[in-house]
Structure 1
Amino acid sequence: MIETNVDDRGVAEIVMNNPPVNALPVKGWFDLAAALQQAGADPAVRAVVLRAEGRGYNAGVDIKELQAAADHSALVGVNRGCAAAFAAVYDCPVPVIAAVHGFCLGGGIGLVGNADIIIASEDATFGLPEVDRGALGAATHLSRLVPQHRMRAMMYTSATATAAELHAFGSVLRVVPRDELRSAAFEVAHDIAGKDPAVIRAAKESLNGIDPWDPKRSYRFEQGFTFELNLTGVADKVRDEFGK
Structure 2
Amino acid sequence: MGVSTSSLEEGTDPEGIAVVTVDFPPVNALPVDGWSALADAVRTAGRGPNVRCVVLTAEGRGFNAGVDIKELQRGGHDTLIDVNHACAEAFAAVYECPVPVVAAVQGFCLGGGIGLVGNADAIVASEDAVFGLPELDRGALGAATHLARLVPQHLLRALYYTARTVTAAELLAHGSVWRVVPRAELPSAALELAREIAAKDGRLLRLAKAALNGIDPVDVRRSYRFEQGFTFEAGLSGVAERVRAGFGTRGTEGA
**Structure 2 length normalisation: TM-score?**
0.94
Structure 2 SS opposite 1:7: strand
The offset of 1:241, in angstroms, is 2.8
The residue correspondences of 1:1-244 to structure 2 (distance < 5 A) are 1-8=2-9, 9-69=15-75, 71-243=76-248
Q: Which amino acid aligns with 1:11?
A: I
CA distance in 1, matches of 2:70, 2:246: 15
Structure 1 SS opposite 2:131: strand
The offset of 1:207, in angstroms, is 0.1
Structure 2 SS opposite 1:243: coil
CA distance in 2, matches of 1:127, 1:117: 17
CA distance in 1, matches of 2:21, 2:45: 12
CA distance in 2, matches of 1:182, 1:161: 22
Provide the alpha-carbon RMSD of the alignment. 0.9
CA distance in 2, matches of 1:123, 1:111: 18
Name the structure, 1 or 2, with higher relative contact order (CA <8 Å, separation 6+): 2
Structure 1 SS opposite 2:246: helix
Structure 1 SS opposite 2:19: strand
2:73–2:244 Cα contact (<8 Å) kept: no
CA distance in 1, matches of 2:126, 2:156: 21
CA distance in 2, matches of 1:34, 1:242: 30
The Cα offsets for residues 143-187 of structure 1, whole Å up to 9 and x where unpaired, read as 000000000000000010000000000000000000000000000
Structure 2 SS opposite 1:45: coil
The offset of 1:226, in angstroms, is 0.3
CA distance in 2, matches of 1:223, 1:149: 21
2:61–2:107 Cα contact (<8 Å) kept: yes
CA distance in 2, matches of 1:213, 1:14: 26
Report the identity percentage: 67
Q: Which amino acid aligns with 1:73?
A: D
The Cα offsets for residues 36-70 of structure 1, whole Å up to 9 and x where unpaired, read as 1101111111100001000100000000011111x
CA distance in 2, matches of 1:178, 1:7: 21
Point out the more displaced range, 93-102 or 38-47.
38-47
**Structure 1 length normalisation: TM-score?**
0.98
2:103–2:124 Cα contact (<8 Å) kept: yes
The Cα offsets for residues 81-107 of structure 1, whole Å up to 9 and x where unpaired, read as 000000000000000000000000000
Q: Which amino acid aligns with 1:51?
A: T
Superposition misfits of 4+ residues, deviation over 6 angstroms: none
Structure 2 SS opposite 1:12: strand
2:63–2:109 Cα contact (<8 Å) kept: yes
- Return 5+ residue gaps in structure 2 as ranges: 10-14, 250-255
Q: Which amino acid aligns with 1:110?
A: G
The offset of 1:134, in angstroms, is 1.1
The offset of 1:72, in angstroms, is 1.3
The offset of 1:242, in angstroms, is 3.8
Q: How many residue pairs get matched?
A: 243
